[in-house]
Amino acid sequence: MSDGPAASSPEDTPKTPNVLKREATQANRHSTSPTAQTETPRLQLRNLSLTSSSQERILDDVSLEVPRGRIVGLIGPSGSGKSTLLRAMNRLWEPGKGTVLLDGNDITALDVVKLRRRVGALFQTAALFDGTVADNVRYGPRLRGERSTDNQVEDLLQKAGLEPGMASVPASQLSGGQAQRVSLARTLANQPECLLLDEPTSALDPGATRLVEETILRLRDETGMTVVMVSHDVEQIRRVADEVCLLVKGRIVERGTPEELFASQQTLSQQFLKGTLEAGHAA
């Protein structure tokens, strides 16, 4: 019997050109339990598209699954659709085409106020109200007719990486990093299942940035929080994200762990890391 061609090993099989597959085994923070792999994703985006008034594609048939208890980073050149995609996840932007599911349910069927409690958002600048830190943290529950005790406020401040004694400090006296973490504590008061972070540390110094990053990681580890994070800071994504999506011209062109994506020989990954990838096209 003649010998047939040798079977190729998995190592010989090239990765998909546009999407990097996650490896079966990941170390430390990238590990996933067997049950987590069969759970309904926390968020599912299906075929989202948006065209501007000038007929420019802002999002182009984007689909994405965000697993429970994971931090997914969105990176890409300016104008690639990252923030637009993020805002579609709690109806801060309504897609013209496509569907967003939260725990398997279409978010358009949910009351938008309740949705935004379940899917909280934090942006570049903390928009705090006049009054004390405690006044800000109590804001969400107060809208629901609930009263937050002093102990509950202190617990939320600790979860956001702040000292409980800061509850009585006027919001106007906070540093940028403190204000951002108070904003996070205010969001956590709504008991969200998912956090959307849009450049949450871009206005902060390196020390404050690290404190916010540590808080995000602790929330994932201690509460199983699901996080989707937009950042222009590649090193921040390396430190924080479990998975990374590279967006170019409104499409997810590559996806993988930070190790996979940043070690990739894919042309677009390398161009982005070198700063030569533009929103509209490859350099």
Out of 1-5, 109-113, 231-235, the most confident range is 109-113
Domain that holds residue 197: 41-274
pLDDT at 282 over 50: no
Instruction: Give ∠ CA 275-56-108 in degrees, rounded to 5.
Output: 100
Q: Is the separation of the CB atoms in 208 and 214 below 8 Å?
A: no
pLDDT at 276 over 90: no
Into how many domains does the chain fold?
Answer: 1
Is 6 among the domain residues? Answer: no
Is 1 among the domain residues? Answer: no
Is 2 among the domain residues? Answer: no
CA 83 to CA 101: how far, in whole Å?
A: 18
pLDDT band at 52 (very low <50, low <70, confident <90, very high): confident
More confident residue, 218 or 203: 218
Average the pLDDT over each of 26-40, 118-132, 185-199 and give the range with the smallest value: 26-40
Closest listed residue to residue 73, CA positions, set 213, 279, 275, 267: 213
Is 190 among the domain residues? Answer: yes
Is 235 among the domain residues? Answer: yes
pLDDT of residue 281: 44
pLDDT of residue 279: 56
Is 215 among the domain residues? Answer: yes
pLDDT at 167 over 90: yes
**In this structure, what CATH number is given to the domain that contains residue 224?**
3.40.50.300
Task: Please tell me the pTM assigned to this model.
Answer: 0.81
Is 70 among the domain residues? Answer: yes
Is 3 among the domain residues? Answer: no
